[in-house]
Amino acid sequence: MKMRDSNTIGGRISDRRLRMGMTQAELAQRVGVSRPAITSWEVGTAYPSRKHTPRLVEALGVSALFIECGDEGTSTSSIPQLERPFERAIAAIRDTRWTAQEAIALKALIDVSTAV
């Protein structure tokens, strides 16, 4: 099983998909896109849109923060129920041009707001 560079969005998508034993076609079906779209995401010629991110993170069992930044400590199974709507909000407002630092700052803001 060949893993891609997990320091990139495409690498994290590919690594997670392969670890789950899923083909590109299977992931594409779960996300509602074509297999070539998955290939483009994985090789870095395109990025998942805000429309597809919620279904992508659900299919891979990770958070939008993981896709964006590689934060492995945050998977959808480890997020308390209260935070799950915030994870969906992150996915809904995510702009593919955001930097990893901006995504981390948004997550920190959400963490602070849920702690109050």
3-state secondary structure of 12: helix
48 belongs to a structural domain: yes
**Could you report the per-residue pLDDT of 48-60, keeping only the tens digit for each?**
988 898 899 999 9
Structural domain span for residue 19:
9-115
* pLDDT (0 to 100) of residue 81: 43
84 belongs to a structural domain: yes
Please determine, for residue 83, whether its predicted confidence score (pLDDT) is greater than 60. Answer: no
2 belongs to a structural domain: no
pLDDT, the chain, mean: 76
- What span, in angstroms and rounded, lies between the C-alpha atoms of 65 and 88? 11
- State both tokens at 18: 């392969």
* pLDDT (0 to 100) of residue 71: 66
Q: How confident is the model at residue 76 (pLDDT cuts 50, 70, 90)?
A: very low
Q: In terms of residues, how long is the chain?
A: 116
Domain count, the chain: 1
- State both tokens at 106: 């948004």
4 belongs to a structural domain: no
CATH number of the domain at 105, please.
Answer: 1.10.260.40
Query: Which class for 80: exposed (0-12), middle (13-18), buried (19 or more C-beta within 10 A)?
Result: exposed
70 belongs to a structural domain: yes
Query: Who contacts 115 (Cβ-Cβ below 8 Å, separation ≥6)?
Result: none
3 belongs to a structural domain: no
For residues 61, 66, 53, 80, the Cα torsion angle rounded to the nearest 10 degrees is 60
* pLDDT (0 to 100) of residue 78: 43
* pLDDT (0 to 100) of residue 49: 86
28 belongs to a structural domain: yes
* pLDDT (0 to 100) of residue 75: 44
**Could you report the per-residue pLDDT of 10-43, keeping only the tens digit for each?**
999 999 999 999 999 999 999 999 999 999 999 9
